[in-house]
A and B are shown apart, each in its own frame.
Chain A
Amino acid sequence: MGLLSILRKLKSTPDQEVRILLLGLDNGGKTTLLKQLASEDISHITPTQGFNIKSVQSQGFKLNVWDIGGQRKIRPYWRNYFENTDVLIYVIDSADRKRFEETGQELAELLDEEKLSGVPVLIFANKQDLLTAAPASEIAEGLNLHTIRDRMWQIQSCSALTGEGIQEGMNWVCKSVNSKKK
């Protein structure tokens, strides 16, 4: 209900379709996030082979969310899904410090992609429910997010498990879609 009410508040043309691409390393929490958005059970999620897609319908918005598997072997396929993306959501496991460098490299490569140029990016600093999670500010600094000049961006700390922070993030996604369309 939360997401729905936020979307209701935003004025937009009826049935506006929004294509959202959900990327990030494996075990980042993309599928859990997707299922949270669709209010589905998140208790027995398995690694994503290929991709999942869900449409979250709401007044004036149809969010088509593409959740693409994050394992190294299938990252080369990511580019097949770039076309017509309205917003990129990049999910980071904030507790997996060993792979911050790897996740930073993947993000940097995505931001260099021609097909994604100018596409707003939301970075979810996920797994904030874990004690070892790095705060969003630390991640933002590590990833040099402040150097992004060619697009709107936002970092949002969240926990896909508890749902905390997701609404705020999706709120930003909808706002960025609106301001882009204007």
Chain B
Amino acid sequence: MLGYIWQYVYTSFLRYWLKWLVRQVTGKCELQRICSGCKPGVTRTSKAEYSLRSSKSKVLRGAVDADKNKLEPCVDRIMEEKSIKPQKDPLFKENLHTCLLQITGYSSLFVSVEELRKEVFDSENHEHEVMLLKLWDLLMPNVKLESRITKQWGDIGFQGDDPKTDFRGMGMLGLINLVFFSDNYTEEARQVLSHANHPKLGYSYAIVGINLTEMAYSLMKSGALKPHFYNTVQGAPELKDFHQLYCYLAYEFDKFWVAEEPESIMHFNQYREKFHNIVKTHLQEPDVSLTLTVCSKN
């Protein structure tokens, strides 16, 4: 209860008085202090995001939702509003611009991710079909698919004769993630598949992959991935950055699963939750970077 009162008093009054006081002493506004005092990455960008979002000024609050192409005039307006002279603080403009690219980029990346998720896998769509067959060829280079509807799909971990129903909740995002991993980390993907096909410790490669897409999607949606993207992408993150994160999850989950030696596949959700918590703990670390560290073709 006391905590709530303190928080209310702090955010409604104390924070502004303190800011005003520090500004009088240092001659710099909060954003300037953040941009020059914090190291680039999650520390700087998150503080800038908080400062902008809790600002009394509409110009500052609006900046976090601004269009990617209108960020420069947006930074100019902020500097005007806060009377920041470029001559006195030459790095401010660029630093704030980078922060804003990261902040607004995260939101627009989620919009793109959500669009792909909502795109239903459609057997009538030639592109979708080509991509599905590509997944097979990448993972099983020496085995020919006998027909489009076949039990063979089970060999790469789909549930039934036709993978299309397995994409349900994750739509094309699930398939694109699977293909991206197999395409850019072919050796690793085949290695993971061989673990998944282990008679005792095995799991269903494709549907676990789709499940990990869901994990990446939910982390993205909740904002939990901000630290990772703020640290690893100096600008607006793109879809390929999301796919890279998926690759990290797919590779790391397999390592985790093999090390844990679960009794059977029936315990999947319990281990998934454990892995999920490990990932979330990493995301709390200030220098988090969830990157797959093997040689990529790209």
A residues sitting closer than 8 Å to B (CB atoms) are 26-27, 43-47, 49-52, 70-74, 77, 80
Contacts and interface: CB of A to CB of B under 8 A. Distances in A.
Nearest to A68: B266
B100 interface: no
B297 interface: no
Contacts of A51: 266, 269
A46 B159 contact: no
Contacts of B154: 72-73
A73 B204 contact: yes
A74 B168 contact: no
Contact of A50 (B117, B169, B213, B268): B268
Contacts of A26: 159-160, 165
A27 B204 contact: no
Chain B binding surface SS class: helix
Given A26-B159, A72-B160, A44 B203 contact: no
Interface residues of B, number: 28
Nearest to B164: A27
A80 B267 CA distance: 12
Chain A binding surface SS class: loop
Contacts of A45: 168-169
B168 A77 contact: no
A126 to B, nearest CB: 13
A45 B166 CA distance: 10
Contacts of B166: 27, 47
Contacts of B170: 44, 46
Interface string B133-174: 000000000000000000000100001100001101110001
A74 B207 CA distance: 13
